[in-house]
Amino acid sequence: MSADDKILQCRNDIMVFVINNVENKIPLKEEEMRDILDKDKLLYKQCFPLVVESLKKVHGIILHKVPESKKYICYSELTACSTAEYDQEQCRHLTLLFIILSYLLMKDCCVDEEQLFHFLKNIRIDIDEEHVFFGANLRKLIADTFVKQLYLKREKSDSETEMETKYVYSWGYRATMEFPPADVLHQTAEILGKEAREFVAVYNKYCSDKNEEAMAVE
């Protein structure tokens, strides 16, 4: 096998690994991908750019490095605008995720856990009871699965006055890539029958620059 053929074979091997892990949305470790090549760092360095290029060109899959880590997330280019590739349960989970992201967005993208769960209960989503639409184990879905998938970030509160450990939620890195805040704002406003501009602080933070760019193009 020639050197070029070997690189292409290694590219294909990593691509298969990535594609097989797209659905579970758990970040891929660089170490895991190097293991496929028997930890050959040079070979990995040569073929990895080809992996990224081929995944996007052939399969429409984005492989993106998580900042300040050796992990990657992979997702479809259609993820944020289409649910066609998901089964019924996944669509329901994404609906719940959208509700949470919308709430976080309106709260400047950071709320404590108790506040989040209280909000959900007020709209008849009790995380400790089976929901007729979203199903069971909602606490695990939110506090564990969404966090591991990097849709949500769950961190210990910095407050020194609290006697017990409390947590705060914010947007995870995957959410920032798949669900642009400006899009979430516009969709949320539409659901509420309002104009996005009515949410002044959020609109100015995420939409004003885009408006200026659009006006400049015109």
The domain locations on the chain are: 3-76, 88-179
- Cβ(78)–Cβ(60) below 8 Å: yes
The residues that bridge with 65 in the sheet, in sequence order, are: 72
| Residue 216 structure tokens | 């400049």
- Model confidence at 48, pLDDT cuts 50, 70, 90, reads very high
- What does the pLDDT read at residue 214? 36
Are residues 162 and 103 in contact, defined by beta-carbon separation less than 8 angstroms? Answer: no
Q: Is the pLDDT of residue 210 over 80?
A: no
Q: What is the pLDDT of residue 157?
A: 83
| pLDDT cut 90: percent of the chain above it | 67
160, burial (CB in 10 Å: exposed 0-12, middle 13-18, buried 19+):
exposed
**Is 1 a residue whose pLDDT tops 80?**
no
Give the model's confidence band at 209: pLDDT under 50 very low, under 70 low, under 90 confident, else very high: low
Task: Give CA separation, 11 vs 28, 30, 74, 164, in Å.
Answer: 16, 14, 16, 49
Split at pLDDT 50, 70, 90, the class of 164 is confident
Q: Please give the average per-residue pLDDT across 35-61, as a whole number.
A: 92
Q: Which CATH architecture has domain 3-76?
A: Orthogonal Bundle (1.10)
pLDDT of residue 89: 86
Mean pLDDT (whole number) for 114-125:
95
Average pLDDT on 55-63 reads: 91
Give the confidence band of 84 by pLDDT, cuts at 50, 70, 90: low
Q: Which residue has the higher pLDDT, 143 or 160?
A: 143
Check residue 161 and give its pLDDT.
64
Assign domain 88-179 to its CATH architecture.
Orthogonal Bundle (1.10)
Kindly state the average pLDDT of the residues 157-180: 84
Alpha carbon distance 215, 77 (integer Å): 27
The answer, yes or no, to whether residue 204 has pLDDT greater than 60, is yes
Q: Which helix (H) or strand (E) holds 41?
A: helix 41-54
What was the pLDDT predicted at 66? 95
What are 210's two structure tokens? 């885009």
What percentage of the chain reaches a pLDDT higher than 70?
A: 89
Q: What is the pLDDT of residue 109?
A: 82
Instruction: Quick: pLDDT tens for 85-112.
Output: 677 888 899 999 999 999 999 998 889 9
pLDDT digits (tens, 9 = 90+) for 9-43: 999 999 999 999 888 899 999 999 999 988 888 99
SS (H, E, C) the chain: CCHHHHHHHHHHHHHHHHHHCCCCCCCEEHHHHHHHCCCCHHHHHHHHHHHHHHHHHHHCEEEEECCCCCEEEEEECCCCCCCCCCCHHHHHHHHHHHHHHHHHHHCCCEEEHHHHHHHHHHCCCCCCCCECCCECCHHHHHHHHHHHCCCEEEEECCCCCCCCCCEEEEECHHHHHHCCHHHHHHHHHHHCCCCHHHCHHHHHHHCHHHHHHHHHHC
pTM above 0.95, yes or no: no
